[in-house]
DNA sequence: TGCATATATCGTTATATCGCGATATAAACA
DNA sequence: TGTTTATATCGCGATATAACGATATATGCA
């Protein structure tokens, strides 16, 4: 894991809203049960936005930060963007921290 | 672990110099072999300062940030301040992240 | 007491981050 | 084609962070 990415990941994690989002995405069936498209696709950006209570542009920026850090990924289906945790990356980060911190 | 402290810890970790300092303090005998007082006391602030190459005031602020986050602690002996990792707190943080992240 | 050393605090400047509303872009649909 | 919906991007003001030099504080020593 490159230092730049480690830096980006820890910076991304240093904001409570972004940690909340990651937490919600861990068990989407618990937090986004009302989503129409199957949660296996991920969670739609608008759902996350409404859950935070912040503005659309702000949440879009948080999601972009998480994505640049490699902590989530998204796929576009039609006009929707579905977000998922990148659990492999998160596990790698945890392993790295356990090892080197 | 309170959310405030979690936030402080992750913010503290989100700066590479502070991560460097924590890393050095993990094996002080490797990085501060030239310190006169026994390393069991901790590492003297001035040693850390010179190792970073940053100004004295900047490093003092970084050490204060780490200390507020509970990631290090210091003891004053005479005119010196010796810093140690707070490994208990760091382990608690890692456990918390493994659990909740 | 006076001076040197170690560290913290202050004041400043530069840069980054957060949050917002406004606007741009892209897809869906009438 | 025009309109709605979903998301990204832009530009801004407010606040936080980082770095520095200067100065304050505290200890040790002559």
Compute how many other C-beta atoms are within 10 angstroms of the C-beta atom of residue B92.
16
Residue B94 CB partners (closer than 8 Å, separation 6+)? A94, A97, A98, A101
User: Percent of chain B at pLDDT above 70?
Assistant: 99
CA distances from A6 to A42, A73, A79, B89 (A): 24, 17, 32, 21
Interatomic distance A76 CA / C30 C1' (Å) = 24
Question: What is the H or E stretch that residue A85 is in?
Answer: strand A80-85
Average pLDDT over residues B2-26: 94
Average pLDDT over residues A52-56: 98
Backbone CA torsion sign across A19, A10, B96, B59: negative
Which nucleotides of strand D lie within 7 A of protein CB? 5-11, 17-22, 26-28
- The β-bridge partners of B85 are B72
Average pLDDT over residues A6-21: 98
Task: Using CB atoms, pick whichever of A11, A23, A100 lies closest to residue B100.
Answer: A23
Cα A26 from Cα A30, distance rounded (Å)? 9
Backbone phi, psi, residue B32, to 5°: -135, 45
pTM for the full predicted model: 0.94
Q: Are A67 and A56 in contact (CB under 8 A)?
A: no
Which pLDDT score, from 0 to 100, does residue A3 have? 73
Average pLDDT over residues B51-59: 98
Task: Using CB atoms, pick whichever of A3, A94, A98 lies closest to residue B101.
Answer: A94
- Tell whether the model's pLDDT for residue B3 goes beyond 80: no
pLDDT-derived band of residue B4, with 50, 70 and 90 as boundaries?
low
By C-alpha to C1' distance, D20 is nearest to B55
- Tell whether the model's pLDDT for residue B75 goes beyond 80: yes
pLDDT tens readout for residues A29-47: 999 999 999 999 999 999 9
Q: Are B69 and B88 in contact (CB under 8 A)?
A: no
Using the beta-carbon criterion (under 8 Å), do A7 and B23 form an inter-chain contact?
no
């Amino acid at each position: 894991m490159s230092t730049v990415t480690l830096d980006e990941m820890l910076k991304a994690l240093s904001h409570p809203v972004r940690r909340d989002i990651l937490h919600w995405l861990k068990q989407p069936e618990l937090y986004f049960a009302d989503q129409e498209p199957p949660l296996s696709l991920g969670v739609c950006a608008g759902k996350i936005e409404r859950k935070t209570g912040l503005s659309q542009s702000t949440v879009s920026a948080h999601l972009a930060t998480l994505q640049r850090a490699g902590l989530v990924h998204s796929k576009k289906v039609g006009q929707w963007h579905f977000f998922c945790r990148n659990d492999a990356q998160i596990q790698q980060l945890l392993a790295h921290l356990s090892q080197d911190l």
